[in-house]
Amino acid sequence: MTSAGPSVVIIGGGIAGLVCAARLGQLGINNVTVFDTGKNGPGGRCSSRSVNINGRIHIFDHSSQYFTVSDNRFAKIVSFLHSKQAIKIWKGDIGHLKKGKFEKDLTLTQAFVGTNGMNSVASSLASLINAKHNTWVSNVVWEDTSKKWKVDRYGYFDYLVIAHNGKCADKLMANAGVPAIHKLLQVRFSDKLNPKDQRMHLCSLWVLMVAFSRSLNLAYEGAHVDDRDISWIANNTAKLSETRSPQSPSNVECWTVISTKEFGSANKVPQENIPPNKAREVTNKMLTAFANVTGIKEGLPETCFTRVQLWGAAIPLNVTRGPDECEFDGIHNVGICGDWLVSPCIQGAAISGLSLAERIQKHAFKQGTLAQSTSLESAFRGTDMESIGCFPTDPKMIFNPPSK
């Protein structure tokens, strides 16, 4: 280690990786690099898409839709993000929808969204750290002689953090020299949990971004849907409070529609190369389901934009059983963080990132029991959640933004 402290490389720039890097900086470990494959910046599931429709930019949240707070540690992050104007409280009605009947979720205390889409959350966190986007890492190897990680062509690091999951993480760690870590990253893609298969289970979801030529005049802004084909709908225009400028009037209303896990499995194709015929088929099926569940009997307005994407490694169906909120191998200086180690939600990802950063700091400076490895046991349990993740709340935890 140099006088500047240990070097840490984090592969994956979602919320877990970004929070881990930021927390390491708070703890005095500043030689940290985050590598992320995102073309336009890090973010992982906190991703948004800006689309020019009829000469005006509109924003779609096409992965994570909103988040909640039930943990004091995460509440501090939320307070910071709000102070940076990266998030706001979603004040529109959110609830459950079945056959045109909407019921507001009275158990939901507060919902939070990015100010300019969910990517605002990631961008704010990324501004605190050294993040490299559009960067792929295809090979990592632990060198026992030097006690360092050789990371592709990017050099040697004292610590390695895996902050992503799915087939890429599984493949990356298959021959890295840490079989216990690799076993935790092995993955099964399915819409149903098999309790006998002690691997991480990930579902796949289709996401439809659609803009209508006029408002649908629905009384709610977000809904978990009881339907065979779609599980969530959200009015991005209302959620993000897009203003209608007198100089550039627009009646366009933008919605995100997310499929069920079962629909994702039944229509799965290579997400990097979706056949045009499949894209049209999925778009039509999801629009039909959208019309049915919203009860718009007279037919949907004309669409002025549609796009579908397959969210291949979408939501974890299970989480690790143990009490640890991350996994860490103190012999080989490697750790894992992610929502599937805590709870399938943004809060879960953030807490896991915090936990791993604190373990690395304790290990680097040999402080107490946290300097040791976690159990590294590949044991999982199912989660009780909506199709698009968990939304834990605590009625005693209400965020009151400071008055301006």
Task: Give the whole-angstrom CA distance, residue 303 versus residue 212.
Answer: 4
Task: Give the whole-angstrom CA distance, residue 40 versus residue 383.
Answer: 32
Q: How far is CA 91 from the centre of its chain?
A: 21
What's the pLDDT tens digit per position in 254-272?
A: 999 999 999 999 999 998 8
Kindly report the backbone phi and psi dihedral angles of residue 238, in degrees, each rounded to the nearest multiple of 5, phi listed first. Answer: -75, -45
Closest CA to 169 of 17, 46, 23, 66: 17
Region 16-41 average pLDDT: 95
Buried b (16+ CB within 10 A) or exposed e, 130-151: ebebebebeebebeeeeebbbb
Residue 385 is predicted with a pLDDT of 87
Region 135-143 average pLDDT: 96
Strand order in the sheet with 32-35: 131-132, 32-35, 8-11, 159-162, 334-336, 327-329
Kindly report the backbone phi and psi dihedral angles of residue 70, in degrees, each rounded to the nearest multiple of 5, phi listed first. Answer: -145, 10
What's the pLDDT tens digit per position in 94-109?
A: 999 998 999 999 999 9
Task: Give the whole-angstrom CA distance, residue 110 versus residue 121.
Answer: 17
Q: Does residue 242 have a pLDDT over 90?
A: no
Q: How far is CA 309 from the centre of its chain?
A: 15
The confidence band for 39, taking pLDDT boundaries of 50, 70 and 90, is confident
Q: Does residue 372 have a pLDDT over 70?
A: yes
Q: Does residue 151 have a pLDDT over 50?
A: yes
Q: Does residue 2 have a pLDDT over 80?
A: no
What's the pLDDT tens digit per position in 301-316?
A: 999 999 999 999 999 9
Residue 249 is predicted with a pLDDT of 54
Contact 50, 57 (CB under 8 A): yes
Residue 298 is predicted with a pLDDT of 81
Q: Which residue has the higher pLDDT, 367 or 250?
A: 367
Whole-Å CA distances, 113 to 67, 205, 247, 366: 7, 20, 27, 39
What is the model's pTM? 0.95
Strand partners, 272: none
Q: Does residue 400 have a pLDDT over 90?
A: no
Q: Does residue 177 have a pLDDT over 70?
A: yes
Q: Which two tokens stand for residue 212?
A: 């209508």
Q: Does residue 135 have a pLDDT over 70?
A: yes
What's the pLDDT tens digit per position in 328-364?
A: 999 999 999 999 999 999 999 999 999 999 999 999 9
Highest mean pLDDT among 11-25, 285-299, 383-397: 11-25
Contact 229, 207 (CB under 8 A): no
The confidence band for 196, taking pLDDT boundaries of 50, 70 and 90, is very high
Residue 41 is predicted with a pLDDT of 85
What's the pLDDT tens digit per position in 206-224?
A: 999 999 999 999 999 999 9
